[in-house]
Amino acid sequence: MDTLQLLLVALAAGVGSWAWTSMTGWPARRVLRQREQLHWSDVARRIHADRMGMAAVAVFLPADCALAVYLWRHPGVFWILAVGLLSAIGVTLGAWPLKRALEHGSRKERWWVTPLKNPALFYGVLIVAMPRDFGAVTWVLFGGVIGYLIAGQIWPIPISRPFRRLAAPSAEVEALIRDVSEKSGIRVRRAWVVEVPQSTAVALPFSKEIVVTSRIVEILSPAELRAVVAHELEHLRESFALSFVRVLVAYSSLPLLLVKPVCATWGPQGLGLLVLLWIAPRFLFSRWSIRQENKADQTGAREDAAALASALLRLHEDNLVPAVLEQKSSHPDLYDRMIACGVTPDFPRPKPAASHTLAGTVAAGALGVLAMMAVIEWTR
């Protein structure tokens, strides 16, 4: 009987998550249907909040469901994970129509990877599975996660290979990257092309590799790609200490994995410290990151300022990322980056795009409330 009830709850979590996610993405899909009549920057501005909201729902809702079933019944880890995973499959299916509408050409990412990649869900399940004391099991679980993440930084390609389609670049792209690398004196150990529908490039500072997406190779001219590669190479020049700080900030939420033993041992004060460790670095880092991006843009502009400006414009248009954002991200706004390259965009500066919607805020807020309920339980 108990099993049947949990099974029904898991199914309800899946269907409910699907419904919630598709509703969140619906207004953006309506805007995309009229995209022919609008300037791309207007489309990007109008869909941004819903996109971000849908991403927040996709990340937080499975953790919400998993934590709620834990608080309700305290079933074993199997059922907590089952409820969370069905919810994660639900959000993946609910997000599908908007993702499809935003993609170009065929879909290259393996669909089943998306529910498995949900960080909040695995965080949630690990937190709940953690013992209440600092015994061997706690350190094995925590150490395992840290070890996996460190390995992911040192050997990013082998670690992400099972989840991504990675290949060596074509001879032309390889030659182009080598050439920019030699000219700038920044060594690249290896270059990769990953097949995803977004157009972007990333530098992997610890392994000294660079990854470009198949889409970016497809849409940029050789001169534009050179400028983008020069920008990414500048990130490879960052010192070990700076790259290390970048990683620490990216993973500043990791101590939260210990919330259960911390609360059981030190009570609410311990929790306060964990939250401070999590939030503070993000605020401090944002400005620093924007400065590093400006520096990388200067390197790209030395390669070819006009090409960098047109590449950035093309990437934003292709990914429908707004030219001006209300909430600053790790990168400066496109509009300012183009002007810094000496190019004035051929459209007026748009109003800043909003980054939040009610649906996303509710999904994130619910996790906060559920987490507080769990913390009260653990501190007792």
Q: Rule CB under 5 A: which residues touch Zn ion? A: 293, 296
CB of 356 to Zn ion, least distance (A): 24
Judge contact between 124 and 69, C-beta under 8 A: no
Which residue do the tokens 């207004």 mark? 27
CB of 43 to Zn ion, least distance (A): 24
CB of 31 to Zn ion, least distance (A): 28
| CA-angle at 206, arms to 240 and 304, nearest 5° | 85
DSSP code of residue 252: T
Q: In this structure, what are the phi and psi dihedrals at residue 195, rounded to the nearest 5 degrees? A: -90, 100
Nearer to Zn ion, 118 or 153 (CB): 153
Tokens of 82: 């089952």
Nearer to Zn ion, 198 or 379 (CB): 198
CB of 186 to Zn ion, least distance (A): 14
CB of 135 to Zn ion, least distance (A): 42
Nearer to Zn ion, 296 or 315 (CB): 296
Chain position whose Cβ is nearest to Zn ion: 296
Nearer to Zn ion, 165 or 187 (CB): 187
Q: Residue 340: how many CB atoms within 10 A of its CB?
A: 16
The Cα 376–Cα 380 span in angstroms is 6
Nearer to Zn ion, 281 or 332 (CB): 332
- In the chain, % helix, strand, coil (3-state, to 5) comes to 75, 5, 20
| CA-angle at 280, arms to 278 and 282, nearest 5° | 80
